[in-house]
A and B are shown apart, each in its own frame.
Chain A
Amino acid sequence: MASGARISVAEFLFRYGIVAGLVILCLGFAIFTPEHLFVQKDNIINVANQISINCILAVGMTFVIITAGIDLSVGSVLAVAGVLVAMAMGGATGAVAVCIGLATGLAVGGLAGWFNGACVANFGLPPFIATLAMMLVARGAAFVISHGQPVYNLPDTFRKIGQSPELPIPIPVFIMAAVVAVAWVLLSKTTFGRYVLAIGGNEEAARLSGIAVARVKALVYAMAGALAGLAGVILASKLGSGDPKSGQFYELDAIAAVVVGGTSLMGGRGSIFGTVIGALIIGVMNNGLSLLEVDQYWQWIVKGGVILTAVLLDQTAKR
């Protein structure tokens, strides 16, 4: 548990079991990829870069899932944020462009997330439905605003965020690390994190203990949205365009990372550490299987199997 100093044997096994799974996966790829490509320095950095977007989305998703909710809209919100970021920067240059881009991404994502939160927390809509609707609305909006075409001609400084091969470690990896660190502190060290866990554990008891349930939930969804916006900024920069088609099914990868990381879909239980491991497992699999030149369709099948196994392990550990 993120909140407890001591953990039970089952939790210990599960938490480190999943780490062991990751290590075995890495060892396997290290041994079997041609010329041990998997463990080459460039590839390791590449993996970190590749998982950054999913990891950022998954961190936001972790909070949502701990409250026993779900956010299906993050992929679409990422896309609409990317499109609006690209348009908002217009002809801006230099650091100004980056600031406008970041601010737009966070604002668009945060707003969409806040709307999700209001629907869930204040109007009592099931999270699945509220965010399903947002998924459609945001995706539609991305296409309408961009007339269905990617928005190109991004300022050079902005493109540097995602494309700076001269740096030893790509900027998205730093952003991911910062997001993870802040989220970890938030969940395990603050009153807010405690309230999130309490609401997921027993919403009625939390309410009767004077926790502002609606406000905390709204914040959680707004945060997930803002992180989707941030991920939209990074993706737009990597692609060099704000693409309305981007981010499809990203919500599912994010949910998978969270669940593989041991966060319970029933709420009340979960950790940022687990989510990072979950995102790593998915990222390592994508990367390793590609290096092994496994067919894309087979990769999906393998990924599905891994998710099932992880959740089965989790349930066994709980008994």
Chain B
Amino acid sequence: MLALQMQHISKSFPGVRALSDVSFDLRPGEVHALVGENGAGKSTLMKILAGAISADQGDILIDDKPVNIANPAQAIAAGVGVIYQEFNLVPHLSVAENIFLGREPRNAGFIRWGELWAGAQRELDRIEARISPRSLVAGLSVAQQQLVEIAKALSLKARIIVMDEPSATLTDHELLTLFAIISTLKQEGVSVVYISHRLEEIFEVADRVTVLRDGQHVATEDVANLTREDIVRMMIGRELETVEFTTSATPRPLLQVEGLTRAVGEPPLSLTLHEGEILGIAGLVGAGRTEFVRAVFGADRPVGGSVTLDGVAVPLGSVRAAIRRGIGLVPEDRKQQGLILDMAIRENITLANLKAVASGGFVRPKAERHAAEGYVDDLRIATPSIEQKARNLSGGTQQKVALAKWLFTKCKVLIFDEPTRGVDVGAKGEIHEIMRALARQGAGIIMISSELPEVLKMSDRVIVMREGHVTGEVPRAEATQERIMTLATGGR
């Protein structure tokens, strides 16, 4: 018996064939990884399973019986639970209220709170989540919120759980907890579809893997029979060239941050960035890395300290001043902070330096198009037109647009906050290559990343943060996963 069979699924959107004749199945108690580059059709396939959209053709069978999934309610009734990258939780309600949202135990319209707390506790215990049912979701970490989502899916009697990029926002430690939960689920006979761009995880957690490319099924194999290179080759349809590390760091200091204090009571932070250097900032989620670089960039006003670029002080707490002096920040959350989603690629690229393609307050359309087209070509931004809205682009393409915006400001220091989160393998390599090229041209790069392999691959030097402090600085030659994790977690 198979837990799930999706047979010969096809789906078209206006102008795009998103899926063509894709079949996918799940054994009971199996973890089945679904991989492919952005736009390969993973999300579309899972949205069909979740009832968010309906297939043009194809059948879905659950426990060998045909089912009709036309809307999310039918998917839930059929035992399908989906944990999306962006959680569907109500921040200002408690954990228990979220788990039972819309199906609270009731008596004549009044919620039976005792039952609610106890029921939520039961679901949380099942996955050994140490979270109080009474906590507000808004106060939980991302990892904890994910656990709430899993508990919610289980409380809905889900037999099939889809996890869309569950690891994207987790630290390595939290990831281990997630893997433990997944193995508990397996023992209970729950099947898991695991979508991830991080191939290392697939070898740790998955039994089988299905690769999609351009809306077509490429292969389904036991993970044990494959290597990482095999999967990458199937995903991108070609060999991925691995770039040797080359340094372009010079001893000349470019950016000096001294005693920067975010808020009263927070520790003062300092760093020096050299010309041509890529400086990695490692640490767990919540270690204060994002807050630190935001303060450097002026996005938040620090209470003390100094930022000096090329020997000249940069006024604190002003994004405008920072940009004028040549500092850029590619933020972590490109949808909320990096891009104007309803604006065209062209408009997003020129936004931070619109004056460069304007005269007397008027935008020069030809110059603007020219600039945007230049970056679309240089960065290989996959789009039919510079007029395409940012909303319609895949994660990797959006990130390249966000990056192009800063390249257009000709900044000397570019800060990347999780530059490749949610970005597919191909685009990730390209983004890394752009960072290298910038460094070669003499720019200084600061890169925050929660992905240790990325930190190790890219950085000339790594600083590690924990609980708001800088706990260590490691030159490239001495940087190892163990050394960095020790500094990040405070272990010995």
Instruction: Return B47 CB to nearest CB of chain A, in Å.
Output: 16
Query: Are A4 and B344 neighbours in the complex by a CB distance under 8 Å?
Result: yes
- Any chain A CB within 8 A of the CB of B347? yes
A309 within 8 A of B: no
**Which chain A residues in 180-200 approach chain B with CB under 8 Å?**
189-192, 194-195, 197-198
- CB atoms of B319 and A207 under 8 A apart: yes
Which B55-91 residues have a C-beta within 8 angstroms of A?
none
Contact-size category for B: 20 to 34
A301 within 8 A of B: no
Q: How far is the CB of B407 from chain A (nearest CB, A)?
A: 13
Interface centre among A191, A197, A206, A207 (most CB of B within 10 A): A191
Taking a contact as CB atoms under 8 Å apart, the answer to whether A202 and B339 are in contact is yes
A5 at the binding interface (Cβ < 8 Å)? yes
Contact between A202 and B336 (Cβ–Cβ < 8 Å)? yes
Contacting pair A206 B347 (CB below 8 A): no
Contact across chains for A191 and B361 when beta carbons are under 8 A apart: yes
A17 an interface residue at 8 Å Cβ cutoff?
A: no
Q: Which residue, of B319, B329, B339, has the highest number of chain A Cβ atoms within 10 A? A: B319
B361 lies within 8 A of A190 (CB): yes
* B51 sits at the interface (CB 8 A): no
Q: How far is the CB of A64 from chain B (nearest CB, A)?
A: 18
User: What A residues does B338 contact at CB under 8 A?
Assistant: 205, 208
In the complex, A201 has a CB within 8 A of chain B? yes
B359: nearest residue on chain A (CB-CB)?
A191
Residue of A whose beta carbon sits closest to that of B365:
A5
Asked whether, in the complex, the Cβ of A209 is within 8 Å of the Cβ of B352, the reply is yes
Q: Which of A5, A204, A212 contacts B320 (CB 8 A)?
A: A212
CB within 8 Å of B: which of A239-268?
268
Please state if A201 and B341 are interface contacts (CB–CB under 8 Å). Answer: yes
* Among candidates A190, A198, A208, A211, residue contacting B343 with C-beta atoms closer than 8 Å: A198
Instruction: Kindly list chain B residues whose C-beta atoms are within 8 Å of the C-beta of A206.
Output: 340, 351
A189 and B405: CB pair below 8 A? Answer: no
Are B361's CB and A208's CB within 8 A?
no
Q: How far is the CA of A195 from the CA of B353 in the complex (A)?
A: 11
Q: How far is the CB of A289 from chain B (nearest CB, A)?
A: 36
B313-344 to A contact mask, C-beta < 8 Å, 1/0: 00000011011100001010000111111111
A211, B351: Cβ atoms under 8 Å? yes
Is B354's beta carbon under 8 Å from chain A?
Answer: yes
Q: What's the least CB distance linking B124 to chain A, in Å?
A: 33
A208 adjacent to B342 (CB under 8 Å): no
Chain A, 263-286, contact with B by CB distance < 8 Å: what is the 0/1 string?
000001100000000000000000
The docked-state distance in angstroms from the alpha carbon of A211 to that of B385 is: 25
> Contact at B299–A208, with CB atoms within 8 Å?
yes
Interface status of B355 (Cβ within 8 A of chain A): yes
Is A165's beta carbon under 8 Å from chain B?
no
A194 contacts B342, CB within 8 Å? no
Partner of A268, one of B329, B331, B342, B405: B342
- The residue among A206, A209, A269 with the most chain B CB atoms within 10 A of its own CB is A209
A4 to B368, CA, bound (A): 12
Which residues of A (117-160) have their CB < 8 Å from a CB of B? none
Q: Is B362 an interface residue (CB 8 A)?
A: yes
Check if B358 is an interface residue, CB within 8 A of chain A. Answer: yes
**Residue contact A190 to B347, C-beta cutoff 8 Å:** no
Shortest Cβ gap from B448 to chain A (Å): 15
Q: Which residues of A contact B331 (CB under 8 A)?
A: 208
Nearest chain A CB to B99 CB, angstrom units: 31
Residues of chain B lying within 8 A (CB to CB) of residue A201: 340-343
Q: Does B478 contact A (CB under 8 A)?
A: no
**Separation of A5 and B363 alpha carbons in the complex (Å):** 13
Q: Is B125 an interface residue (CB 8 A)?
A: no
Q: Is the CB of B340 within 8 A of A210?
A: no
Sampled A-B contacts (6; CB under 8 Å): A189-B362, A191-B358, A198-B343, A201-B342, A205-B336, A210-B322
B interface residues with partner A (beta carbon < 8 Å): 297, 299, 319-320, 322-324, 329, 331, 336-344, 347, 351-352, 354-355, 358, 361-363, 365, 385, 387, 405
11 further interface pairs, Cβ-Cβ under 8 Å (given A192-B361, A195-B354, A206-B351): A6-B385, A190-B358, A190-B362, A201-B340, A202-B339, A202-B341, A205-B340, A208-B297, A209-B323, A210-B323, A211-B351
| Nearest 8 CB-CB pairings of A with B | A201-B340, A210-B323, A209-B352, A209-B351, A202-B340, A6-B387, A210-B320, A191-B358
